[in-house]
């Protein structure tokens, strides 16, 4: 396979715990769909369903797929400010040098934010359970009964 930028043979290399094809000249990377998923999963533990949509918008690109030589498409990665190219025949994704590090950082942030969201939702659900609990409802009912009783005297200070 040839680099879509330099036309140099891609070499097998291990980066970020993933075996991928890397250009020895420009350091761009070719990842299969499975390798991109593996890369994201290095730091994101909530599963694929929680990652959101991978691609937003796409437009033709001048680069050619290293596997089939068809023109690739450019897209916005997971609605972040990161453009990637992909083969429409699903052969893989082209990442510029060090974009693997950017994917890892974005997925790490996404996991952190999702963790905060889950924690907030859990706390809110616990609060709602408390508000619906018998003890809280009984106290509320007692307050309403006292407030409606005409014999109740209110202290004026």
Domain boundaries, the chain: 11-115
Q: For the chain, what percent of residues have pLDDT higher than 70? A: 89
For the chain, how big is the Rg over CA atoms in Å? 27
Residue 67, both tokens = 């596997």
Instruction: Give the strands of the sheet with 11-15, arranged side by side.
Output: 11-15, 18-22, 29-31, 93-95, 83-86, 71-77, 55-64
Model pLDDT for residues 85-138, shown as the tens digit of each residue: 999 999 999 999 999 999 999 888 888 877 667 677 778 887 777 777 767 777
Residue 10, both tokens = 């891609």
CA dihedral (121, 127, 132, 133) positive or negative: positive
Chain mean pLDDT for the chain: 86
Asked whether 71 and 89 are in contact (CB, 8 A), the reply is: no
Q: What is the mean pLDDT of residues 60-89?
A: 95
CA dihedral (5, 10, 14, 18) positive or negative: positive
């Amino acid at each position: 396979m040839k680099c879509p930028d330099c036309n140099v043979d891609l070499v097998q290399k291990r980066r970020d715990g993933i075996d991928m094809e890397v250009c020895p000249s420009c350091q761009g990377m070719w990842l299969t769909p499975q390798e991109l998923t593996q890369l994201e999963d290095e730091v994101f533990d909530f599963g694929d369903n929680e990652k959101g949509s991978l691609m937003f918008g796409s437009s033709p690109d001048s680069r050619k797929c290293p596997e089939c030589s068809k023109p690739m498409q450019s897209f916005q990665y997971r609605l972040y400010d990161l453009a990637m190219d992909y083969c429409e025949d699903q052969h893989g994704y082209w990442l510029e040098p060090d974009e693997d590090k950017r994917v890892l950082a974005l997925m790490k942030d996404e996991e952190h934010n999702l963790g905060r969201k889950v924690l907030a939702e859990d706390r809110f659900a616990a609060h709602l359970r408390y508000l619906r609990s018998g003890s809280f409802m009984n106290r509320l009912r007692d307050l309403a009964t006292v407030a409606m009783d005409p014999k109740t005297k209110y202290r004026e200070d």
